[in-house]
Amino acid sequence: MTTTLATHGAGAPAPAPWGIRLSGVTVRYPNGTVGLRGVDLDIAAGELVAIVGLSGSGKSTLIRTINGLVPATDGQVEVGGRRVDGASAAALRELRGHIGMVFQSFNLAGRTTVLNNVLVGRLAHTALWRTLVGAYREADRRLAYEALDRVGILSKVYERASALSGGQQQRVAIARALAQQPRIVLADEPVASLDPPTARGVMDDLRRINQDLGITVLVNLHLLDLAREYGTRMIGMRAGEIVYDGPASDASDAVFEEIYGRSLTAADRLDR
Ligand SMILES: Nc1ncnc2c1ncn2[C@@H]1O[C@H](COP(=O)(O)OP(=O)(O)OP(=O)(O)O)[C@@H](O)[C@H]1O
Ligand SMILES: [Mg+2]
Protein backbone atom coordinates (compact mmCIF):
# COMPACT_ATOMS: atom_id res chain seq x y z
CA MET A 1 0.00 0.00 0.00
CA THR A 2 1.38 3.42 -0.81
CA THR A 3 0.97 6.13 1.78
CA THR A 4 2.27 9.64 2.25
CA LEU A 5 4.18 8.57 5.35
CA ALA A 6 7.47 8.93 3.52
CA THR A 7 7.00 12.66 3.27
CA HIS A 8 5.06 13.51 6.38
CA GLY A 9 5.26 10.64 8.83
CA ALA A 10 7.31 10.15 11.95
CA GLY A 11 10.75 8.82 11.25
CA ALA A 12 10.96 10.67 7.95
CA PRO A 13 13.73 13.27 7.81
CA ALA A 14 12.53 16.68 9.01
CA PRO A 15 11.77 18.93 6.05
CA ALA A 16 14.42 21.54 5.21
CA PRO A 17 13.90 24.91 6.93
CA TRP A 18 12.84 27.94 4.95
CA GLY A 19 14.28 31.41 4.72
CA ILE A 20 12.14 34.56 4.75
CA ARG A 21 12.53 37.60 2.50
CA LEU A 22 10.63 40.88 2.52
CA SER A 23 11.39 43.54 -0.07
CA GLY A 24 9.93 47.00 0.30
CA VAL A 25 6.94 45.71 2.24
CA THR A 26 4.35 48.23 3.35
CA VAL A 27 1.17 47.23 5.15
CA ARG A 28 -1.66 49.71 5.35
CA TYR A 29 -4.67 48.45 7.31
CA PRO A 30 -8.17 49.17 5.91
CA ASN A 31 -8.60 52.00 8.44
CA GLY A 32 -5.50 53.72 7.06
CA THR A 33 -3.08 52.81 9.89
CA VAL A 34 0.34 51.90 8.54
CA GLY A 35 1.63 48.71 10.21
CA LEU A 36 4.85 48.30 8.17
CA ARG A 37 6.71 50.91 6.17
CA GLY A 38 8.98 49.77 3.35
CA VAL A 39 10.48 46.85 5.26
CA ASP A 40 13.44 44.99 3.72
CA LEU A 41 14.40 41.86 5.60
CA ASP A 42 16.34 38.75 4.75
CA ILE A 43 16.33 35.85 7.20
CA ALA A 44 18.31 32.75 6.26
CA ALA A 45 16.95 29.25 6.74
CA GLY A 46 17.79 28.04 10.23
CA GLU A 47 18.24 31.45 11.88
CA LEU A 48 16.84 32.35 15.31
CA VAL A 49 15.76 35.98 15.26
CA ALA A 50 14.28 38.08 18.05
CA ILE A 51 12.11 41.05 17.12
CA VAL A 52 11.81 43.83 19.67
CA GLY A 53 10.01 47.13 19.75
CA LEU A 54 7.43 49.12 21.63
CA SER A 55 3.75 48.30 21.55
CA GLY A 56 2.40 49.30 18.14
CA SER A 57 5.79 49.22 16.42
CA GLY A 58 4.67 46.52 13.96
CA LYS A 59 6.02 43.26 15.43
CA SER A 60 2.76 41.34 15.11
CA THR A 61 2.05 42.87 11.72
CA LEU A 62 5.43 41.57 10.52
CA ILE A 63 4.62 38.03 11.68
CA ARG A 64 1.10 38.13 10.20
CA THR A 65 2.45 39.41 6.92
CA ILE A 66 4.95 36.55 6.72
CA ASN A 67 2.22 33.92 6.98
CA GLY A 68 -0.16 35.88 4.77
CA LEU A 69 -2.76 36.68 7.45
CA VAL A 70 -2.28 40.36 6.68
CA PRO A 71 -1.78 41.26 3.02
CA ALA A 72 1.15 43.45 2.00
CA THR A 73 -0.12 46.66 0.42
CA ASP A 74 3.20 47.07 -1.37
CA GLY A 75 6.34 45.03 -1.89
CA GLN A 76 7.09 41.32 -1.93
CA VAL A 77 7.00 38.65 0.74
CA GLU A 78 8.65 35.26 0.17
CA VAL A 79 8.99 32.20 2.38
CA GLY A 80 11.10 29.30 1.19
CA GLY A 81 11.37 31.04 -2.17
CA ARG A 82 7.58 31.09 -2.63
CA ARG A 83 5.58 34.29 -2.92
CA VAL A 84 3.15 34.97 -0.07
CA ASP A 85 1.76 38.27 -1.36
CA GLY A 86 -0.76 37.62 -4.09
CA ALA A 87 -0.87 33.86 -3.39
CA SER A 88 -4.24 32.16 -3.93
CA ALA A 89 -6.25 31.02 -0.91
CA ALA A 90 -5.27 27.42 -1.67
CA ALA A 91 -1.58 28.30 -1.99
CA LEU A 92 -1.73 30.23 1.30
CA ARG A 93 -3.32 27.26 3.06
CA GLU A 94 -0.54 25.07 1.77
CA LEU A 95 2.14 27.56 2.83
CA ARG A 96 0.67 27.91 6.30
CA GLY A 97 0.88 24.14 6.72
CA HIS A 98 4.65 24.64 6.81
CA ILE A 99 4.61 27.55 9.27
CA GLY A 100 4.05 26.82 12.96
CA MET A 101 2.45 29.66 14.94
CA VAL A 102 2.77 30.29 18.67
CA PHE A 103 0.80 33.07 20.36
CA GLN A 104 0.86 34.90 23.68
CA SER A 105 -2.55 33.48 24.58
CA PHE A 106 -1.63 29.84 23.70
CA ASN A 107 -4.84 29.39 21.64
CA LEU A 108 -5.54 25.86 22.86
CA ALA A 109 -8.87 24.07 23.00
CA GLY A 110 -9.06 23.96 26.81
CA ARG A 111 -11.72 21.27 27.17
CA THR A 112 -9.96 18.65 25.14
CA THR A 113 -6.79 16.67 25.80
CA VAL A 114 -3.24 17.79 25.28
CA LEU A 115 -2.89 15.02 22.67
CA ASN A 116 -5.87 16.28 20.65
CA ASN A 117 -4.52 19.81 20.76
CA VAL A 118 -1.17 18.66 19.40
CA LEU A 119 -2.82 16.49 16.73
CA VAL A 120 -4.38 19.68 15.38
CA GLY A 121 -0.84 20.41 14.18
CA ARG A 122 -1.22 17.46 11.81
CA LEU A 123 -4.40 18.82 10.19
CA ALA A 124 -2.66 20.36 7.21
CA HIS A 125 -1.15 16.98 6.45
CA THR A 126 -4.25 14.90 7.11
CA ALA A 127 -7.03 14.04 4.68
CA LEU A 128 -10.32 15.77 5.53
CA TRP A 129 -12.21 12.49 6.03
CA ARG A 130 -9.65 11.35 8.61
CA THR A 131 -10.04 14.62 10.48
CA LEU A 132 -13.83 14.32 10.41
CA VAL A 133 -13.86 10.83 11.87
CA GLY A 134 -10.97 11.58 14.22
CA ALA A 135 -8.91 8.85 12.55
CA TYR A 136 -5.41 10.15 12.89
CA ARG A 137 -2.76 7.80 11.62
CA GLU A 138 -0.45 6.04 14.00
CA ALA A 139 2.39 8.08 12.51
CA ASP A 140 0.59 11.32 13.40
CA ARG A 141 0.21 10.17 16.98
CA ARG A 142 3.88 9.29 17.11
CA LEU A 143 4.76 12.79 15.87
CA ALA A 144 2.52 14.28 18.55
CA TYR A 145 4.18 12.23 21.30
CA GLU A 146 7.64 13.11 20.00
CA ALA A 147 6.76 16.81 19.96
CA LEU A 148 5.43 16.67 23.55
CA ASP A 149 8.54 14.81 24.64
CA ARG A 150 10.75 17.46 23.05
CA VAL A 151 9.17 20.18 25.19
CA GLY A 152 9.20 18.00 28.30
CA ILE A 153 5.48 17.46 28.90
CA LEU A 154 4.81 14.00 27.53
CA SER A 155 3.47 13.00 30.93
CA LYS A 156 0.53 15.41 30.43
CA VAL A 157 -0.60 13.86 27.16
CA TYR A 158 -4.08 12.77 28.35
CA GLU A 159 -4.83 15.75 30.58
CA ARG A 160 -7.26 18.47 29.63
CA ALA A 161 -5.33 21.42 28.27
CA SER A 162 -7.12 23.81 30.66
CA ALA A 163 -5.74 21.84 33.65
CA LEU A 164 -2.17 22.86 32.78
CA SER A 165 -0.16 25.84 34.00
CA GLY A 166 0.54 28.73 31.62
CA GLY A 167 4.05 27.55 30.89
CA GLN A 168 2.83 24.01 30.23
CA GLN A 169 0.06 25.29 27.96
CA GLN A 170 2.60 27.27 25.96
CA ARG A 171 4.67 24.10 25.62
CA VAL A 172 1.59 22.30 24.26
CA ALA A 173 1.24 25.13 21.74
CA ILE A 174 4.89 24.70 20.76
CA ALA A 175 4.40 20.93 20.47
CA ARG A 176 1.36 21.57 18.25
CA ALA A 177 3.53 23.74 16.01
CA LEU A 178 6.27 21.07 15.98
CA ALA A 179 3.81 18.31 15.06
CA GLN A 180 3.30 20.24 11.83
CA GLN A 181 6.95 19.48 10.98
CA PRO A 182 7.25 23.16 10.21
CA ARG A 183 9.92 24.84 8.14
CA ILE A 184 9.46 28.08 10.09
CA VAL A 185 8.08 28.81 13.58
CA LEU A 186 6.66 32.28 14.17
CA ALA A 187 6.11 33.13 17.84
CA ASP A 188 4.23 36.32 18.71
CA GLU A 189 5.09 37.33 22.31
CA PRO A 190 5.12 33.67 23.43
CA VAL A 191 6.29 34.49 26.96
CA ALA A 192 4.48 37.76 27.63
CA SER A 193 1.96 36.11 29.99
CA LEU A 194 4.51 34.04 31.91
CA ASP A 195 6.58 34.71 35.02
CA PRO A 196 10.36 35.10 34.48
CA PRO A 197 11.55 31.52 35.19
CA THR A 198 8.72 30.05 33.13
CA ALA A 199 9.43 32.54 30.35
CA ARG A 200 13.04 31.41 30.25
CA GLY A 201 11.96 27.75 30.12
CA VAL A 202 9.74 28.39 27.11
CA MET A 203 12.50 30.41 25.42
CA ASP A 204 14.88 27.50 26.08
CA ASP A 205 12.45 25.23 24.24
CA LEU A 206 12.30 27.57 21.27
CA ARG A 207 16.08 27.78 21.16
CA ARG A 208 16.40 24.00 21.36
CA ILE A 209 13.98 23.60 18.48
CA ASN A 210 16.10 26.00 16.47
CA GLN A 211 19.40 24.33 17.36
CA ASP A 212 18.40 20.65 17.35
CA LEU A 213 15.92 20.65 14.48
CA GLY A 214 17.36 23.56 12.50
CA ILE A 215 13.94 25.19 12.17
CA THR A 216 13.93 28.91 11.37
CA VAL A 217 12.47 30.68 14.42
CA LEU A 218 11.20 34.25 14.58
CA VAL A 219 10.11 35.42 18.01
CA ASN A 220 8.56 38.73 19.03
CA LEU A 221 9.62 39.87 22.47
CA HIS A 222 9.14 43.07 24.35
CA LEU A 223 11.72 42.46 27.07
CA LEU A 224 15.20 43.49 26.13
CA ASP A 225 17.16 41.13 28.36
CA LEU A 226 15.35 38.10 26.93
CA ALA A 227 16.20 39.30 23.43
CA ARG A 228 19.83 39.71 24.48
CA GLU A 229 19.93 36.26 26.00
CA TYR A 230 18.26 34.31 23.24
CA GLY A 231 18.25 36.13 19.96
CA THR A 232 21.40 35.46 18.00
CA ARG A 233 20.14 38.18 15.70
CA MET A 234 17.90 40.99 16.82
CA ILE A 235 15.61 43.17 14.75
CA GLY A 236 14.47 46.40 16.34
CA MET A 237 11.23 47.94 15.10
CA ARG A 238 9.91 51.44 15.53
CA ALA A 239 6.79 52.88 13.87
CA GLY A 240 6.67 50.10 11.26
CA GLU A 241 10.33 50.35 10.29
CA ILE A 242 13.40 48.28 11.05
CA VAL A 243 15.72 50.56 13.02
CA TYR A 244 18.20 47.94 14.24
CA ASP A 245 19.43 44.68 12.75
CA GLY A 246 22.42 43.04 14.37
CA PRO A 247 23.65 40.64 17.02
CA ALA A 248 21.47 40.90 20.14
CA SER A 249 24.54 40.63 22.33
CA ASP A 250 25.90 43.87 20.83
CA ALA A 251 22.76 45.83 21.63
CA SER A 252 23.62 48.22 24.43
CA ASP A 253 21.04 50.08 26.50
CA ALA A 254 21.66 53.04 24.18
CA VAL A 255 20.61 50.88 21.20
CA PHE A 256 17.40 49.92 23.01
CA GLU A 257 16.68 53.54 23.86
CA GLU A 258 17.04 54.30 20.17
CA ILE A 259 14.62 51.48 19.27
CA TYR A 260 12.14 52.45 21.99
CA GLY A 261 12.51 56.17 21.42
CA ARG A 262 12.71 56.75 25.18
CA SER A 263 14.77 55.93 28.28
CA LEU A 264 14.59 52.38 29.58
CA THR A 265 12.49 51.57 32.61
CA ALA A 266 12.42 48.59 34.95
CA ALA A 267 9.34 47.37 33.06
CA ASP A 268 11.50 46.77 29.99
CA ARG A 269 13.48 44.11 31.84
CA LEU A 270 12.50 40.60 32.80
CA ASP A 271 13.90 40.44 36.32
CA ARG A 272 12.45 43.62 37.66
N1 LIG B 1 -6.27 44.95 12.46
C2 LIG B 1 -5.76 46.19 12.53
N3 LIG B 1 -6.43 47.23 12.01
C4 LIG B 1 -5.92 48.48 12.04
N5 LIG B 1 -4.73 48.80 12.60
C6 LIG B 1 -4.01 47.80 13.13
C7 LIG B 1 -4.48 46.45 13.14
N8 LIG B 1 -3.55 45.67 13.75
C9 LIG B 1 -2.56 46.50 14.11
N10 LIG B 1 -2.83 47.78 13.74
C11 LIG B 1 -1.97 48.95 13.94
O12 LIG B 1 -0.73 48.72 13.27
C13 LIG B 1 0.37 49.19 14.06
C14 LIG B 1 1.28 48.03 14.39
O15 LIG B 1 0.59 47.13 15.23
P16 LIG B 1 1.16 45.73 15.70
O17 LIG B 1 0.05 44.98 16.31
O18 LIG B 1 1.88 45.10 14.57
O19 LIG B 1 2.23 46.19 16.80
P20 LIG B 1 3.04 45.33 17.86
O21 LIG B 1 4.45 45.79 17.77
O22 LIG B 1 2.76 43.90 17.66
O23 LIG B 1 2.44 45.83 19.25
P24 LIG B 1 2.23 45.04 20.64
O25 LIG B 1 3.58 44.98 21.31
O26 LIG B 1 1.27 45.90 21.39
O27 LIG B 1 1.68 43.69 20.32
C28 LIG B 1 -0.26 49.84 15.29
O29 LIG B 1 -0.40 51.21 15.02
C30 LIG B 1 -1.62 49.19 15.39
O31 LIG B 1 -2.55 50.04 16.00
MG1 LIG C 1 1.91 42.44 18.89
In this structure, the strands spanning 233-238 and 74-79 are unpaired
Question: What's the CA-to-centroid distance between 241 and ligand 1, angstroms?
Answer: 13
The residue to mutate among 31, 54, 55, 188, having the most atoms of ligand 1 within 8 angstroms of its beta carbon, is 55
- CA 60 to centroid of ligand 2, rounded, Å: 4
pLDDT at 40 over 50: yes
Mean pLDDT on 201-223:
94
Torsion of CA 272, 186, 157, 149, to 10 degrees: -90
The per-residue pLDDT for 3 is 35
Tell whether the torsion through CA atoms of 237, 238, 244 and 247 is positive or negative.
negative
Q: Of 181, 183, 95, whose CA–CA distance to 144 is shortest?
A: 181
Which DSSP category does 239 fall into?
A: T
- Distance, in Å, from the CA atom of 244 to the CA atom of 154, rounded to the nearest integer, reads 39
Q: How does 248-264 read in b/e, with b if 16+ C-beta sit within 10 Å?
A: beebeeebbeebbeeee
Specify the residue with its C-alpha closest to ligand 1, atom 24. Answer: 55
Local confidence band at 265 (pLDDT 50, 70, 90 cut-offs): confident
Rounded to the nearest angstrom, the distance between the alpha carbon of 250 and the centre of ligand 2 is 24
Position 129 confidence tier, pLDDT thresholds 50, 70, 90: low
| Model confidence pLDDT, tens digit, residues 43-93 | 999 999 999 999 999 999 999 999 999 999 999 999 999 999 999 999 999
- pLDDT, residue 61, reads 98
Q: Say what the pTM is.
A: 0.91
Query: What domains lie within the chain, and their CATH numbers?
Result: 19-95+218-261 (3.40.50.300)
Are 80 and 66 within 8 A, CB to CB?
Answer: no
* pLDDT at residue 10 greater than cutoff 60: no
| Angle, vertex CA 133, rays to CA 145 and CA 126, nearest 5 | 55
133 by Cβ neighbours in 10 Å (0-12 / 13-18 / 19+) ranks as exposed
Instruction: Please state, rounded to an integer, the average pLDDT across all residues of the chain.
Output: 90
Residue type, 107: N
> Which tens digits make up the pLDDT trace of 84-97?
999 999 999 999 99
Q: Whose CA is nearest to atom 25 of ligand 1?
A: 55
